[in-house]
Every structure is written in C-alpha cells, then in structure tokens.
Amino acid sequence: MNSDRGALTGFKVVDLTRVLAGPFCTQTLADHGAEVVKIEPPTGDETRGWGPPFAEGEAAYFLGVNRNKRGIALDLSRAEGQEVLFRLLEGADCLIENFKAGTLEKWGIGYDAALKVRFPRLIHCHITGFGEDGPLGGAPGYDAVAQALSGMISINGHPQGQPVRVGMPMADLGAGLVALYAILMAALERERSGQGQPIEVTLYDSAFSLLHPYNANYLLSGKRPERTGNQHPNIAPYDVYQTKSCAVFIGIGNDRQFARFMAELGKPEIAQDSRFASNADRNLNREALTALLRARLADEDGFALSERLLALGVPCGAVQEIPEVVAHPHTAHREMVVEKDGYRGTGLPAKLKRTPGTVRARPPHFAEHSREVLTELGYSDGEVDALAQAGVVVLPKEAAK
C-alpha cells in the first residue's frame, strides 16, 4: 500500500481495537498515509458479522471503518503472541486499544509496567466506555448506554415525545475523533520532548463534550434543557417545514438572513414586526412564527425554494434521504463516495491539498496479512507455522475454514 503522498506517511500504528470508535480513528489515520496493522483476536472483530448487508462474507459495518489497513489475528493473552506485539511496537509510533480497563495489566503488558519502559517514545491510546476509575469506572462501553448516561438521549426527540437515541452512534464516533486528535497532539508534543505518553479517551466524556449548546445553556442559566425536536434552543426560525414537494430545513442565523428570507417569501413586513425583529424576539414568539411559516411554506416547491434561498445566502436545504445524497452531483464533485477493488465506501472529508489522503486498499479479510506481517518481523515460515499450530496466530487458510 503506497502512502508516499499522505500527510502521515511513516507514522506507524498498531491497532488492537474492535467495533467502531478505535477502527474509525485508525482508518482516518490510514487514509492519510499512516501504516496501520490491525490485530484481531482469534475470534475476529465481531463487527465482521454485524449484517446484512454482506460482501464476500464481511458486513458493511466492518467494511466501513477498516480500509487501508493490514490485518492479522493474534492471541495476545499468550506470551508468544505478546512477543509478536513487541516486535511490531519496536518500530511503531502509536498503540491504540479498547480492551476493558485492566486487560493489558492482567496480561503483564500494561503501559506503566511494560510498554513505557520498553518503548519510551510510544503513544498509547486507550479507549473505554467510562474510564478506569470513578463511580462508572470499568463499566463496559456501548454507544447507546454512553448516549443515555451522558445526557445525549435526553435532549434528542420531540418535546412531547420520548427521548430518542441519536441515530448515528455519536458516542462511538465522537470518541474516535477525540482519539484521533489526541494521538496527533501527542505526536506533535513528542517532537519537542522526545517522549511518548498514555492517552485516555472515553465514550462518556466524548458524548458529554458534544452537548453544545445544551451544556453551555445549563451551566449559565441553571435551567434544565428540554427536547426541542428539529428546533434549536437558541435560534429561531431553525426547524423542518413541510412544502408541497418535500420537507426543507431552514436555519436562520442572523437578522439579515431573516429579512432576506421573508422578502423571498413575499412577506418583507414580517421582518419588521416587533415580535420577530431580532433573534431574541423570534425566540420569545417562536410559536407564532412557526405557525406563520408553516402556513406560508405549505404551497412552495421545497426543492426550488432551497436553491433560491441558498443563492441568497439563506441557510435552507431540502431534506434528502441517503440514496439521493449518494447520487447527488455535489457528492460526486466532493469525491465523497470512493471505490477500490470492488470496495465502495465513504470518501475522505479532510482534503489536504498538497498531501491528500487516499483509499489504497479495501478492508482486510480476517487474518489476511498474518504471514506477511510476521515474515517482515523476522519470523521464518517454519516459526509462523508453529505459532499457527499452537493457536497463537491465525493464518488466512485457517481463517477461511
């Protein structure tokens, strides 16, 4: 996998993570040139089976966050498996894992007791649900549970309805992004100090940190946040409105936009109405404003209105479903759907102009690169076969059975 052009070319990552937060982080690193070796347990990453849909026996869930990596399968509870890990870490910049708190320590390879001493420049990122200590320390990390306990679910949904889980696994994805920037910050700091360091990332902290502006509002006012549906707690109008052709989302950020919006609807006088003249006024009178807009927009062609308002600098978007977004010309223009060797996935959102990221390889089949990686580490074919026979390493032929 040639990554010569990527911003992270030469950055080597040993990835022990499974499921989502860690793999999402390491795929992003790999997309931008990092060399990532994904080590799965002999039973594999469970998301390989999280389907349908499947392609060549692999679930879309796994395929979506594991491209550009080489994959091996290794029993890290065994001393022989740990020796393979140590050989990989000799040239690695970062070890990322999401084992339950205390697992590496139980195996005798924890950061303080083993990794820090042997690999002083190593960045060790540990992702858990709630951290290693505290009232929830050591509890298993699941996205929906973290969403619930962090308050994320409580503010999602309609005012008179039940709290609703955010459809995307935001606690997991948020933790993956936090891990990503934390690793890069640690790598930058290492250029000054010459030292690696441990990083702790939790789904709980990550989810809680994303609750803006609800946290900010509560910490300032002391008023319990309420569910607002599609509306915004601080801005009006900011909601979904039904037109004759589709639903549209209108999100007015300032008074100038509101004046343009009302002029385009043929109602310029509403922007001068004392009830709606400022955002604070519109917030206080949002029920009256919502009723007025719903009545006015019901006969509009939402698709045409969205284009007209965007051209005027007024935030408005027709509510599109996933198939329409995938097929949209702008999605193609932004290269947000990529294909490689039969793999089809989401494109790279960060466009570095001089050192762009690339999709160089499809996600690895289970244990696909076990022999290749161990051979690079200096193991002979006979030694690799012996490790496989002992159940320490899984080879591709065993993986296919």
Residue spans of the domains in the chain: they are 12-210+335-399, 238-327
Contact 33, 355 (CB under 8 A): yes
DSSP for 30-97 reads HHTT-EEEEEE-TT--GGGGS-SSEETTEEHHHHTT-TTEEEEEE-TTSHHHHHHHHHHHTT-SEEEE
User: What are the φ/ψ torsions at residue 131 (nearest 5 degrees)?
Assistant: 95, 175
Q: Is the peptide bond before 23 cis (omega within 30 degrees of 0)?
A: no
Per-residue pLDDT of the chain (401 residues; tens, 9 = 90+): 444 689 999 999 999 999 999 999 999 999 999 999 999 999 999 999 999 999 999 999 999 999 999 999 999 999 999 999 999 999 999 999 999 989 999 999 999 999 999 999 999 999 999 999 999 999 888 999 999 999 999 999 999 999 999 999 999 999 999 999 999 999 999 999 999 999 999 999 999 999 999 999 999 999 999 999 898 999 999 999 999 999 999 999 999 999 999 999 999 999 999 999 999 999 999 999 999 999 999 999 999 999 999 999 999 999 999 999 999 999 999 999 999 989 999 999 999 999 999 999 999 999 999 999 999 999 999 999 999 999 999 998 755 44
238-327 maps to CATH 3.30.1540.10:
yes
Task: Round to the nearest angstrom and report the end-to-end CA distance of the chain.
Answer: 27
Residues 6+ apart with CB under 8 A from 162: none
Spell out the residues 6+ positions from residue 360 whose beta carbon is closer than 8 angstroms to its own: 1, 2, 3, 68, 340
Cβ-Cβ contacts under 8 Å for 213 (sequence gap 6 or more): 233, 234
Q: Is this prediction's pTM over 0.85?
A: yes
Q: Which residues contact 302 (CB under 8 A, 6 or more apart)?
A: 243, 244, 245, 246, 247, 248, 318
Residue that has been written with the tokens 């927009």 in this structure: 297
In DSSP terms, 337 is beta-bridged to 346
Which amino acid type is present at position 155? I
DSSP 116-149: HHH-TT-EEEEEESS-SSSTTTT----HHHHHHH
- Rounded to 5 degrees, φ, ψ at 387 are -65, -35
Whole-Å CA distances, 72 to 67, 113, 294: 14, 26, 56
Do the domains at 12-210+335-399 and 238-327 have one common CATH topology?
no
> At residue 364, what is the residue type?
P
Closest alpha carbon to 216 in 136, 278, 155: 155
Active-site residue, 205 included: no
- For residues 41 and 126, what is the distance between their CA atoms, to the nearest angstrom? 17
Collapsing DSSP states into helix, strand and coil, what is residue 105? Answer: helix
* Domain range 12-210+335-399, its CATH number among 3.40.50.10540, 3.40.50.2300, 3.10.129.10, 1.20.1090.10: 3.40.50.10540
Closest by Cα among 170, 179, 156, 131 to 26: 179
Catalytic choice (172, 273, 281, 299): 172
Residue (of 401, 383, 252, 400) closest to 392 by Cα position? 383
Q: What is the pLDDT of residue 398?
A: 54
